Structure 1
Amino acid sequence: MQILVRKLLQRIQFNHAIGRCAYSTKKVFAVGQPTPASHPQLLKEGEITPGITCDEYISRRKRLLELLPEKSLAVIAAAPVKMMTDVVPYPFRQDADYLYITGCQQPGGVAVLGHECGLCMFMPEASPHDVIWQGQIAGVDAALDAFKAEKAFPMSKLHTILSDMIRGSSKLFHNVKTAIPTYTDLEAFQKSAYNGKVKDLSIYSHELRWTKSPAELKLMRESASIACQALLQTMLHSKIFPYEGMLSAKVEYECKMRGAQRMAFNPVVGGGPNGSVIHYSRNDQKIKDGNLVLMDVGCELHGYLSDLTRTWPPCGGFSSAQEELYNLILETNKECVKLCRPGTSIRKIHNYSVEMLQRGLKEIGILKDVRSSYHQLNPTSIGHYLGMDVHDCSMVSIDRPLMPGVVITIEPGVYIPPLFDGPERYQGIGIRIEDEVLITETGYEVLTGSMPKEVKHIESLLNNFCNGIGMEGHNIMTAGSS
């Protein structure tokens, strides 16, 4: 069996060599992820990941080291592979901190950052079996050549080398949420933890990730643009295909066709009363004629996420009750966006939104006892930080004064359950309008501003453009429901 595997590997290597000679004048260095040589359509020379250069990654490491105390170490593990069942893994997504520091998009590694060692990467070792079944992965050579680590070792050396590094350090920082037994079970680590020398690295890494560089903002603009285009196509699709599952599939298709690697989260597609469930995710109902649909979606482009929400009537027109509530949420959204500027905070914007919504809901007649009932209808914050994670940089307080380069969401909403003790015409209505907002030197930039949200614009789009989808779409819907 071993002889057979060896011959098969030799044949694969030979075929790969022929392919390189026949189709490329450059040697393609296989590192288990795109490189400028293997994917020139994605990466420019000098980039480690699309849009982010080697120099930027090195700068990030230097800035993190400037925050770390002398003689301390930062240990960051790659995200683990999670299994769906037996031999079937869930789609892999890299830990944001590990990706931010290394640029490595693969599982199985541990990165160590220190004042003396610089970036030291411990890399997985692929067996012939792994290469056959899963393809080439980044090893020690890739850590040095592609990711520009100062030092690199196979994972089999971690026990000895990292233990010595820990013993020589004054403090140890690590990503608590992605900690793995590979290093936490080391005697040196456990001794440091017992002595109170182990701390959470997130207080420093989130500080760095909070404000985005020009390169990061370019990717976030592109991610937002993709999500807006995809959601607009889905909105136009909804009149003929008023099914939560179909709309979820449509928005994912449109995002990926425009270059997104994955969705930022499972799309929320809440039709009618399901829209009042804030993180509704079943997406298995038909949207009844006359009901609204609330869609909260986002996609990931090369590590950077988008997040926006729109609510509309697939039938083409808002009822008077729906429009009344919608205009309250829309006005709150627009007024809160105007508050976005350097020096304010998410907390201040949130408090303003609560006052505005409480006043509006009371005027409409939905709220009688404002203090006790409001949080039943909206228990959420006005927004959150956005970046490499959906709720990005959670270690940074929402009381922190906003700075240029920070991206936040503004997402007022109202979620009235079907059995709410209030006027019947409002029962079972869920509305949220969410935009991404970049804080600039002079104020703000709405990254999702291309996505319509005015009532007249939405109704015009639904009624004047949806008919162009044609009978082919109608036949698909009929076949799917028969």
Structure 2
Amino acid sequence: MAARWLRLTSSTFRPLSLSPLSLRLLPSSPSSSSRCFSSSSSSSSHSPHSTPAQEDSSYAPPSSRNLLDHVGQPTSLSHPELMSPADITPGITAQEYIHRRNSLLDQLPPGSVAIVASAPVKMMTDVVPYTFRQDADYLYLTGCIQPGGVALLSHHSGFCMFMPDPDPHEIVWQGQVAGVDAAIDFFKADKAFPLSMMTKLVPEMLKGATGVFHNPKTAATSPYFKLEAFQKALANYQVKDISTYTHKLRWIKSPSEIRLMRESASIACQSLIQTMLHSRTYPDESKLAAKVEFECKMRGAQRMAFNPVVGGGANGSTIHYSRNDKKIREGELVLMDIGCELHGYLSDLTRTWPPSGKFNPYQEELYSLILETNNECVKLCKPGASIREMHNYSVKMLMKGLKELGIIKGEMSSYHQLNPTSIGHYLGMDVHDSALLSTDRPLQPGVIITIEPGVYIPPSCDAPDRYCGMGIRIEDEVLITETGHEVLTASMPKEITHLKTLLNMSSGKPADDVP
């Protein structure tokens, strides 16, 4: 997803250490208004590869069979094909979530309180919600993918979760959701309370706080925002954006996160290859958008990372084109920018190709310039480099090439009209991940970025007519490693000869015979 070019500025309480296998799923107690966690827990001796559940997907221990929906999201009991008993979300263990919260506590100033609310449910109509997607910071710290909760973290109070009050009417329509028992037993909160108790408890928790950190994006719809204690802190300039800290934590991916992002990238690559093959027979923007979404979900993705950009012909010159409603004409290029989400982690890649299977000479020379810029900028990816340095390098390359092709005269303003985007952005739980961090920041091992040079020439412009109405972008995901980099989208063809071979596989015509 093309990045806008922005100038960005750049003795501790610990929750109890728990056995990652201790996932006690206890039934909610209507009479219990809160619970505090006990360190005693049971452990399973079965590995995720030898459980009876894998032999019989309907199997659950008798004591747990009626508890599969207690948590309101996948668990190792309800989804043994996805999760091990150690996981809170697929691939991410309880211990990793605890480590994340400890890391945040280590960074917060002494006496601070962090409050992070879940994302709100957005409605399409009065009774029809849009598909829910959790706020990345709330998910990163809690592992809870459900709406309605609020997490509070401090050295004094530990990790507290306020969970939605049970509503029998809503359960009939929407299904079971996590309550206070699930907050402690599954999400490993130190304390848990019904959301209705926020009015009474949060003012006490904020008393004496030297600073309050929260997520402004989710605050307005959360009940804590209207509390007098919070509003008083806000009026006294004690409230700050917690993203200053969480974006730093999320910037460097753990080995578990990298595994998920590799898989997400692999799903996107495989799906786009199938869509590319499909484009020869069905050169239609809407059909290609539907095809890539189908392929991603068939391979395990929960949703698309964003509405696919499928720009045929001149539509490819609109950077974030989203209508996807036009038939692609013979001889035109199509630009597809797509990504999918796998258990909270996103992929993002772009390819441009001719569905007909052949480039005309002008398309090929402009495509070659973008491809060379992509390859050279990928080579620059290593610890210590920065996105800003790569961007500046790409601008020099593209300006030189566009001048040689006669597309621009050489003025910087002319270049920015044809490419107002950055060479890339950070990628992770959000498409533009860790957005508060400066692109001047020296890259470190574990950071994942995109490299996506492009040119977007509108139908009416001062460029030679043969180039007008042409949009080309080539985007890859790159993981920074100790020794350099790893291209996570390397399996997706981008060389002209490879694209020709792929597109003409089903035609029975050798690639060498294609002009």
Output the TM-score relative to the length of structure 1.
Answer: 0.92
The total of aligned residue pairs comes to 448
1:25 aligned onto 2:65: no
Which among 386, 390, 397 is matched to residue 345 of structure 1? 386
The range that moved more, 147-156 or 369-378, is 369-378
Aligned partners of 2:453, 2:149: CA distance in 1, in Å?
A: 40
Where does residue 117 of structure 1 map in the other structure?
157
- Contact 2:451–2:477 (CA under 8 A) maintained in structure 1: yes
The CA deviation at 1:465 is: 3.0
Select which of 323, 342, 348 maps to 1:282: 323
- The answer to whether the 8 Å contact 2:265/2:488 transfers is yes
1:111 alignment partner, SS class: strand
Counterpart amino acid of 1:140? Answer: V
Offset of residue 23 of structure 1: 4.4
Match of 2:441? Answer: 400
Q: What's 1:151 paired with?
A: 191
Contact kept? 1:274, 1:430, Cα under 8 Å: yes
Task: Show the counterpart of 1:169.
Answer: 209
Determine the C-alpha separation between the residues in 2 that align with 1:366 and 1:32: 56
Do 2:308 and 2:338's aligned partners in 1 also have CA atoms closer than 8 Å? Answer: yes
* C-alpha deviation, 1:166, in angstroms: 1.1
Further displaced range: 258-267 or 113-122: 113-122
Aligned to 2:417: 376
Q: 1:132-151 to 2 correspondence within 5 Å? A: 132-151=172-191
Per-residue CA shift, 1:20-44, capped at 9, x if unaligned?
Answer: 9x84324043210000111100100
Q: Is the 8 A contact 1:266 1:281 kept in 2?
A: yes
- Match of 1:260? 301
- Asked if the contact 2:112/2:209 (under 8 Å) is kept, the reply is yes
Aligned-partner SS, 1:132: helix
From 223, 237, 250, give the equivalent of 2:291.
250
Aligned to 1:412: 453
Q: 2:112 aligns with which of 72, 93, 117?
A: 72
Aligned residues: percent identity?
68
Post-superposition Cα deviations, 1:223-277, rounded to whole Å, max 9, x if no partner, equal 0000000000000000100000000000000000000000000000000000000
| Cα distance in 1 for residues equivalent to 2:382 and 2:398 | 21
Q: Is the 8 A contact 1:236 1:466 kept in 2?
A: no
Contact 2:117–2:222 (8 Å) recurs in 1 = no
CA shift digits 1:92-143 (9 cap, x unpaired): 0000000000000000000000002111000001211111000000010000
CA distance in 1, matches of 2:139, 2:59: 31
* TM-score normalised by L of structure 2: 0.86
Gaps of at least 5 residues in structure 2 are 1-55, 510-515
Matched residue of 1:437: which SS? strand
> How far has the Cα of 1:467 moved from its partner?
6.3
Letter in 1 for 2:118: A
Q: Deviations over 1:143-195 (max 9, x none)?
A: 00010000000001001101111123111000111113411110000111111
Give 3-state SS (helix, strand or coil) of 1:260's partner: coil
Q: Partner residue of 1:422?
A: 463
The 8 Å contact of residues 111 and 120 in structure 1, kept in 2 or not, is answered as: yes
Q: Residue 216 of structure 1 contacts residue 304 of structure 1 at CA under 8 Å; is this kept in 2?
A: yes
Conservation of the 8 A alpha-carbon contact between 1:295 and 1:309: yes
After TM superposition, the structure 1 = structure 2 runs for residues 177-192 of structure 1, keeping only pairs within 5 Å, are 177-179=217-219, 180-192=221-233
Query: How far is 1:372 from its partner?
Result: 2.2
Contact 2:157 2:205 in 1 (8 A): no
- Structure 1: any 5+ residue segments left out of the alignment? 1-19, 469-482
> Alignment partner of 2:281: what SS?
coil
- Partner SS for 1:239: helix
Written as runs of structure 1 = structure 2, the 5 A alignment for 1:292-307 is 292-307=333-348
Q: CA RMSD in A?
A: 1.2
Aligned partners of 1:343 and 1:403 also within 8 Å: yes
- Higher RCO (Cα < 8 Å, 6 or more apart): 2
Secondary structure of the 2:72 match is: coil
In the alignment, does 2:134 pair up with 1:94?
Answer: yes
Measure, in 2, the Cα distance between the counterparts of 1:434 and 1:287: 21
Alpha-carbon distance in 1 for matches of 2:398, 2:112: 48
- Residue of structure 2 aligned with 1:43, choices 83, 86, 93: 83
The alpha carbon displacement at 1:466 in A equals 5.5
